[in-house]
Structure 1
Amino acid sequence: MFTKAFRVKSNTVMKTSDRRKLKADVSAAFPSLTSDELTQLIPNKEVLNVVKIYAHKGESVALYVLQKNPLFFELEKQLYPTVYMLWRFPTVLPTFSTWPPVLDKMIGGADLMLPGVVVPSNGLPDLKQGDCCAVTVVNNRAPVAVGTAAVSSADMLSLGMKGKGVCVLHTYMDHLWAFGEKSNPPTIPESEQPVVYGEEYPPDEREEEEEEDGKQIVEQKQQQIKSDEDQTCSDVAKLSLAEQDEEEREKTNEEVEDNPDDQKSPQEDMDSLFLQCFLCALKSKVKKSELPLLTSTFLRNHMFSCCPSGKKLDIKKSSYKKLSKFLQVMQQQHSLVRVKELAKGVDSIVEVDWRNPELRSFCVPKETEVEAISLPSGGGETMYRAPEITILYSVSTRLEPLFQDANKRKGVVLQPAEVRSIVTDYVKMNDLVDENNKNYVSINPTLCDCLLEKAEYQDIVSFKWDDLFSRTLERMQQCYQIVFPGQKPVVKKGHIEPIDITVVSRGGNKKVTLIKNLEVYGLDPPAVATALQHKVQASSVLQPVPGSKNNVLVQIQGNQIQQVGRLLLDHYQIPRKYIQGLDKAAKGGKKK
């Protein structure tokens, strides 16, 4: 269920009443827990969060998180423990044991099959179909998977230990595990020697070898998941080491040619580049009306655009190492700006000394000056230009045979029109158009494996063209390309988060409007908050988004959905499909 990345809908701190209800639900679901153990799991004074997510197939799931680790997840009003909770209390659920190589298959999304179950001498646990259970590996009682019994224990034996045993919901190494601190299972030794049913995996003489193989597989999987996460979280493609070295050599050579008597180290070069882009951004990009300006927005939207072609700003290659330290130097030593923490963890530039001699004497490079003049402006301010967003699709492992003839391997990103063209060429090349009705396409073994579920193999023999295209797109990984003016295109996995507008009650009957995800579209939250203040004559504040380091949400008094919608649609030109919550605007009273 969590083999693919999920989407977080909300992350809130639990109220005291909700905490009591959760404790009662946990006690009812897991009666073996004592009152002391319940207090350890759901303490009264520590922060306990409820995180609502959408799994990759659309299921709505609630996670209960303590100290960054999810302890329980609730699916269809049924409460399940995570591996983090079971590592603390491994006897809460009845367990099935299996061999280490089977764990790799379960991590990949497979269920636990009965031929791979290792049965102890006292027999299988007494379970009914659908009962919650856990899975361990031999010689370690620490659970590595959670699921439900596919059939009852009696049926497992009557079937001769063949078929499906456990429908796996959550495993060690999946994305729910990665949502926590990513720790490894503790070692809890088995109390007795297991008895093997079937001959799919050898017994005692190969246990040590199997364990070693299992550890290697888990380590490989862990490295693979880590690399996938790093790739998912990376918004800007990085240069290779060779390109970086070559770029540094080119920069050094250029500087030596310009001034051969003054050779600088790469770190000093980056410090000079940062100062140059900083002064350039203040003089040619930032307007007084934009203040206060988030430091992250200032770097992304202003300093990056002032970087000369052929060079790249990288704070980690400078002596400052962090943007906050660089701005601190600009404030204390150069007296150029004043930086203030408007909200916890959210720094903004609140003041610029436009009369500073260093800033007044700085000459904007010609290429940057031309770019600044070419930007459309109105009323003395640089107009905001909405980014161009294109929905794309990535070739998945399952669909790779369908795209093989077009030389499109796994991970290749395509536009919907390209997908239609490739699928059409494949159908015509393999003569799959129905002779009696040209609107239908016959299903061959490749299309069957790529597009049909197992239950459909005998029922569906042909598709309409539209159904063929829609099924193909549904089974591809959705991506999106976002292009900000003056910046390189960035391709990101998953669905683009819409700007979320909600109205909540605070302090009794008072209502406030919350606006989130403005940064995704290059909007500066302080600037939006200031514009709304002038528009509706109401106070606004900035708050950090739970679970995010750089993003903030705008809070403004009253139900202001209509005014926010007009600002985003008319002034900033954000397409309506990327704004969520406009339908909840307050309706006007009836005319008399």
Structure 2
Amino acid sequence: MFKKPLGNLKTSAPLRSSDRRKLKQRVVQSFSLSAEEGDVLVPDGLLSVKFNTYSDDPGVAYLAPGGDPLWFTIGKGSDDLIPTVYTLWKKPDLLPFLSTPSAVIPKLIGGADLMIPGVIQHTPSIKESHLVSVTEYTRDKLGPPLAVGRMAAHSDIMGREDAKGKAVYVMHAWKDHLWDMGSKGEPPDPVSASNSKQADAPHESVADDNGSQRDAEHKLLVEGQTDTPASPSGEVTSEVRNHTLSREEVTTILRKSVLQAIQKLLSELPASSFPLSATVFYSTYILPSRPAFISEHVLTTPIDIKHSTHKSLTTFLKVCEKEGLIKLKDMKSEVLVMGVFPTHDDVEAHRPYTSLKDLELKREKQDGKVEEERKKVKEMIIVEKWKPHQQSLKFFQGVGLNISLLYTLPDIKSAINKHAADASLIKQNDQQLIRLDELLNSVLSSKSDELPQFMKREELVKRLSDKMQSWYEITADGKDPVLKKGQLKSILVVVKMRQGRKASTLITNFEPYFLVAESLADELRHICASATSVSPALGKGSGMEVFVQGKQIKAVTELLVSRGIPKKWIEAMDLSDKKK
């Protein structure tokens, strides 16, 4: 919505005290806030400013005294107040949230909507059309809100294997043109903030026939989860606080991890996979089977043998063997696990939970889906056009064509061919040559160039287009076509030696292709694992230049192509080996 500059922007004016109180009351009631929170989010000295979006929708933004936009409405007479990221940075839990990988954020900044495959976690049971914030996924913490939008579908469908399509219609994002009106500060650090207003109450543990001890153990491990694998769609169901586990609690979790590993992983292994060394058994199967969601708290205690009641891994495994869960064999160098017993009562009664391994597999799958969605971006359609101008006006008037229209090269060629045929200008023994008559001579002549009697058709087309005014039209997937005057330049990707003998890659001329310098730099920093920076390019009106450390032509080209830019509009040069 704000991917393009705001139009018809009026001068900001102070909001009357009575209007400010009414606005505060609306915010307090709409978002269930206290009066003190209302004063923070709707402060004294509030300003209002009217604007139009690039799609010509009228809107009003409410600015803090320092200029940061805090709230906005879209539509004539709309009462639908929408918080900006500046407001959400003050109160991150104001809206239900969805978290997404860091690689997705630049796409949202560029104007894209959030797709379902890009959602890692979300507040449960968010209805369609509900206002939400989009955060960058940060494990065990709430990342800062970086976008605001409306749910495109109910959150309940997002855990399905075949779920696809849009999750959020993004209305406003960090680094868009509404954000640019403010102080442009960096997002705050992730916080261990309470999500209790957004989350469902934890489900109570369901008792089973094996007694209250097992039930208590299960409750400790998977607070907020049900009998079935928990939180399949990454729902955040509890508040986040620091918590320290006792050694007995760590031991309980490790024992549950053994049951999970036997039930989900080890029972499927062929007999030939055994024996396993104790260290392999522990690192490959037990540790990945630890629960991903221990309780409603952020744990400060590592869940490993060192922090359990057992002095060593061998001692722990021998306790498991004594309980009949595994079979061991003592060797001189170390203990070997000879087999496991999936039919043990405790294994069969074990209620599976979302393990660290499950979460990692899901994350990899989601990253894969995000990458697939990214690769599905359609190639931009770029059409060069020309408008009759100065000398070329004579030709189009002479052949009876509209001088106010834009013409492509095939259109210009057709006009020349028609004129040549009507005026009998085609050379009989060579159909490619056309005789220059008085009209063509008057249009193409110049002081420094003497024209021949005949000229090839392609050369005629080129010469006539050179006398015309250049325009171009770019149509990108999901965006309105953009028609602009001027000659479209290719994106330049140049490797040069800078600061002595250090190679660096410079990218320029990318703005016409819907790319934002900061977003491009962020993506390349992640892809190339190299330092990046943004600075003004040399020359008047040259736009911005993105700098990437190292020789990165291949990585940059692949990223540009994945964003829909045709290869013919990417010009790459390696000047690092050329002598000065």
What TM-score bracket applies, with the shorter chain setting the length?
A: 0.3 to 0.5
Structure with greater helix percent: 1
TM-score by length of 1: 0.38
TM-score by length of 2: 0.38
